[in-house]
Amino acid sequence: MRVCVIDGQGGGIGSVLIKAIRAEFGESLEIIALGTNAAATTQMMKARANKGASGENAICHSAARADVIAGPLGIVLANAMMGEVSPRIAAAVAGSPAYKLLLPLTREEVEVVGVVPEPLPHLVDKLVVKLKELMKDV
């Protein structure tokens, strides 16, 4: 299974996700770190992703080939992350056939109604549980 973790800015959320996924699954799945910039990709690679790439084209190309895409909600919002998520990236992620596991975190003026705010560690734990469920179906 190929899991693409997408993040921008400093790659902090993506790094936390990769560490948690790697801790749970070891080397049993391929994790690809996709950063909107090189700094984000570098941080996610330090978290033990198998591969990494940066920029719009890399994200668009890889999103189409992923089984699962994980990251903050902003990766499907054009111009999120201070403009790092281009409209093309948002469309590629949203339009990918991959299953999306999105954390309801955003600095944009967006609120997902009905979602109870939780700390990042709790959200990451829930994402890992959902990924386990998806792995059973493979």
- What are 116-133's pLDDT values in tens digits? 889 999 999 999 999 999
pLDDT at 136: 87
Q: 72 pairs with which residues across the strands?
A: 103
pLDDT (tens digit per residue) in 34-64: 999 999 999 999 999 999 999 999 999 999 9
In the chain, what are the domain boundaries? 2-136
Pick the closest to residue 31 from 57, 7, 10 (CA basis).
7
Task: Select 2-136's CATH number: 3.40.50, 1.10.20, 1.10.150, 3.30.70.
Answer: 3.40.50
